[in-house]
Amino acid sequence: MNCMKLTLLVSGLLLGALPLAAQQAPALSLTCPAPNASTALQKLACEIRDLTMPAPTAGATLTVDARANGGITVRGWSGSTVKVRALVTARAATLADARALVAAVKVSTQNNLLRAGRANESLDGWAVDYEVLVPATTNLDLKATNGSITIENVAGTLRLATTNGSLALRSVNGDVRGQTTNGSLALQLTGESWVGSGLDVSTVNGSIDWQLPSVYAATILARTTHGKISAELNTKRKSVLPHNLAATLGKGGAQLKANTVHGSITVKQPADAPVAVPVSGE
């Protein structure tokens, strides 16, 4: 399925299925570190920058590039624009030098690309973390190296990649692919079923915690090489082995995969609520 067809599918099916949190504008919460984050050898300077970008057109992708130092949090909301809070930090021997380094960092929002850099291309001593609000149906390409990635209440073609950081996915749908090398995976799905072509996420050195609603329809596949799998699922159609899990939830559906090499996997659904039985009158 190409990006245009996927976008139309998600737009038609998902807006009503997304939780209420996606229908309201979440508050931007990134703040500067406490003053005591400075040390005797290194002083810390910080600056908050609030920016606005046009939302990508249908079929286009918003790229957030936080390499080499910085994390990314993206949340869906009901607005038609992209709101960005960039937290720029820098460390240097003196506070004046740290402030000068912060001032030299430029954050660009051109051509559906959010990224930062210095005029001399140096990566030393500074970092930018991003908190981004996007329309609830948006294609995303999120990149980090030394930072974590969190995404919630968004549907579309989603690509996430970091090296030293965790991945957290909450209330997402669409065609979702993500990977990290040194970090955990936290998956929290909502709704009654997956909407879109599927999920495929992996880590090398990290555990996986996967939470699903008590009633859900999908095909679940999980694998670990040097860890164990624990599964509490509301289905009899499952195969749970020490290193592999395969399960059909509800009527089945999209294939959802999660893999790790050095880590354990926990997959859990809350127990089904008991069905109330009417009591006949005498």
- Mean pLDDT score, 217-234: 96
| Domain residue ranges of the chain, discontinuous segments joined by + | 42-136, 166-271
pLDDT digits (tens, 9 = 90+) for 4-63: 444 445 554 444 444 444 445 678 889 998 766 677 678 999 999 999 999 999 999 999
pLDDT, residue 141, reads 98
Distance CA 102, CA 35 (A): 16
What is the maximum alpha-carbon separation in the chain?
A: 86
pLDDT, residue 20, reads 42
Is 239 in contact with 246 (CB distance < 8 Å)?
Answer: yes
Average pLDDT score, the chain: 89
Cβ partners under 8 Å of residue 16, min gap 6: none
pLDDT band with cut points at 50, 70 and 90 for residue 275: very low
- Mean pLDDT score, 189-213: 97
Coil, strand or helix at 281: coil
pLDDT, residue 280, reads 53
Is 223 in contact with 259 (CB distance < 8 Å)?
Answer: yes
pLDDT digits (tens, 9 = 90+) for 68-100: 799 999 999 999 999 999 999 999 999 999 999
pLDDT, residue 33, reads 84
pLDDT, residue 24, reads 56
